[in-house]
Amino acid sequence: MAGISSSAIETLRDQLATATVHIPGSKGHRGCLPHDNHGSGGATWKAVDEAGAAHGLATVGGTVNHTGVGGLTLGGGYGWLSGQYGLTIDNLRSATVVLADGRVMTASATEHPDLFWALRGAGYNFGVVVDFTYQAYHQGNRVYAGILGFSPDRLESIIELLNSLLANPDARSGAMCIFAQAPDGSGPMIIIICFYNGTREEGQERFAGFLALEPVLNTVDIVPYPVVNTLQNPQATYGDRKSFKGIFYEPPLDPGFMRSVFNEFMAKIQDDLDLMPSAIILECIDMRKICETPVPATALASRNLTQNGILYLRWTDPAKDLDHRAWARGVQAKWKAELDARKRDLQGGVEVPQYINYAEPGDSVVPNIYGENLGRLQTLKARYDPNNVFHKMHPIPLPP
Ligand SMILES: Cc1cc2nc3c(=O)[nH]c(=O)nc-3n(C[C@H](O)[C@H](O)[C@H](O)COP(=O)(O)OP(=O)(O)OC[C@H]3O[C@@H](n4cnc5c(N)ncnc54)[C@H](O)[C@@H]3O)c2cc1C
């Protein structure tokens, strides 16, 4: 950036952090879809959520609103609206990309469709995206969302209720189950984040079993859609040292396995209080809409019914980095063994259980995180980035 003044850089940074809504048709028209919701390459989902909400619109974005639009989109993107509309990449209409050789290209279904295919699931290997255009949907109504907190003795009942939600999916609903310390630090807690894109009555019916289980914390209410993507922000603040290990499961969850995970995790963070802000997060998403798109249609390989989760470790002492990461890999290995025991056909197949954005570089539990799409990605990598400039996040090996 030699020769560019700091004010120019600030302007560039500001411009890359914006989100705007473009509504086709007459000025102010809020009629028929599609609407486009634009997020610049450096924007966070907060900007996208708020720009959409100002027009009664929303798209599929991150569940923690200070996450970047860029990495989340380029690796797939699961959000609260995925049950209805699929992944973030399924709602990406076009992207403007700066390639390694400096060319600027628009990628879409009609312009450079091979690059557009690669961006949707392996995107950080192909260039710098400076502009994303998403399909947006009407989201005029408020949503039923919030946090229910339970004492640890409810664990087995909670797991049965989660299994029931997963066995009876509803495209307008989602949930997360979180093992963590209570927000007031009073001890271990099981947290359920509830989401229903509908009325209070519909939400209460969907989560009736949890509400009957006498939560000790209940913040669930009818809120504007962007609020649901702020619920985890207090636990996902910037700073600290962090390890983010993708875990995954094939429903139904086994209550005995979950009890052992809970006990081991709580013992670990109570043994080392520096780990106290850590959490285990299990997502419950209706995957049916996501799976309507075949795996070879985009570069993302983990498009299947396996549910995602995260072992999210936080600490402050750099001397503990290796120890904590090694412990986290051990936990991750137990989840993989549990999955393999239930779904033996994964052993030799190409199905990828691990979501690429929940795998730190070098931490993939599968040898090939691109699955059946690897060959095509290698060909495109050789075409668009032959000198392997973009190689930091899950690099695609160039063909020999
Ligand atoms: C607190 C938290 C909550 C999360 N919640 C969700 C969730 O709800 N759903 C979900 O699917 N995932 C979620 N994730 C995972 C998330 O998708 C990944 O961490 C993703 O990499 C975040 O993107 P970023 O741009 O913020 O990250 P960064 O670390 O900035 O980027 C990640 C990678 O993408 C590249 N990259 C970023 N922007 C661009 C761009 N414009 N052009 C080219 N390359 C780019 C970077 O170079 C880097 O290699 C969450 C992660 C965190 C930490």
Both tokens of 142, joined, read 């408020």
> Best substitution site from 302, 357, 358, 388 to test ligand 1's pocket, by max atoms within 8 Å of Cβ?
357
Q: How far away, in angstroms, is 357 Cα from ligand 1 center?
A: 7
CATH second-level architecture of 143-358? 3-Layer(aba) Sandwich (3.40)
Q: How far away, in angstroms, is 28 Cα from ligand 1 center?
A: 33
Cis bond before residue 252 (omega within 30° of 0) = yes
Residue 96 to residue 45: CA distance in whole angstroms: 18
**Angle 221-224-225 (CA atoms, 0-180°, nearest 5)?**
105
Query: How crowded is the C-beta side of 125, counted as CA atoms within 13 Å?
Result: 30
Q: How far away, in angstroms, is 358 Cα from ligand 1 center?
A: 9
In the chain, CATH 3.40.462.20 sits at 143-358
Answer whether 341's CB lies under 8 Å from 374's CB.
Answer: no
Residue 87 to residue 306: CA distance in whole angstroms: 14
87: exposed, middle or buried (Cβ count in 10 Å: 0-12, 13-18, 19+): buried
Cis bond before residue 361 (omega within 30° of 0) = no
Answer whether 355's CB lies under 8 Å from 308's CB.
Answer: yes
Q: How far away, in angstroms, is 200 Cα from ligand 1 center?
A: 32
Helix axes 374-384, 113-122, angle to 10 degrees: 120
Residue 395 to residue 386: CA distance in whole angstroms: 13
Tell me what pLDDT residue 18 has.
64
Q: How far away, in angstroms, is 62 Cα from ligand 1 center?
A: 9
Spans of the chain below 50 pLDDT: 1-6, 8-9, 12, 25-34, 347
Measured from the Cα of 355, ligand 1's closest atom is 11
In the chain, CATH 3.30.465.10 sits at 11-138
Establish whether residue 124 lines the binding site of ligand 1, counting it when its CB lies within 6 angstroms of any ligand atom: yes
- Nearest of 253, 183, 177, 259 to residue 216 by alpha carbon: 183
> What's the pTM?
0.92
Residue 338 to residue 255: CA distance in whole angstroms: 12
Measured from the Cα of 244, ligand 1's closest atom is 53
Identify the CATH assignment for 11-138 out of 3.40.50.300, 3.30.465.10, 1.10.3720.10, 1.10.1060.10: 3.30.465.10
Query: If you search the block for the tokens 């025991």, which residue do you land on?
Result: 341
> Best substitution site from 16, 60, 74, 300 to test ligand 1's pocket, by max atoms within 8 Å of Cβ?
74
Residue nearest to atom 38 of ligand 1 (CA): 70
Establish whether residue 94 lines the binding site of ligand 1, counting it when its CB lies within 6 angstroms of any ligand atom: no
Residue 245 to residue 281: CA distance in whole angstroms: 10
Tell me what pLDDT residue 345 has.
54
pLDDT in tens, 109-163: 999 999 999 999 999 999 999 999 999 999 989 999 999 999 999 999 999 999 9
Tell me what pLDDT residue 66 has.
94
Tell me what pLDDT residue 13 has.
52
Tell me what pLDDT residue 350 has.
61
Residue nearest to atom 35 of ligand 1 (CA): 71
pLDDT in tens, 176-231: 999 999 888 889 999 999 999 999 999 999 999 999 999 999 999 999 999 999 99
3-state secondary structure of 253: coil
Q: Phi/psi class of residue 158: alpha, beta or left (left: φ > 0; alpha: ψ in -120 to 50)?
A: alpha
Query: If you search the block for the tokens 């000790």, which residue do you land on?
Result: 216
Q: How far away, in angstroms, is 356 Cα from ligand 1 center?
A: 10
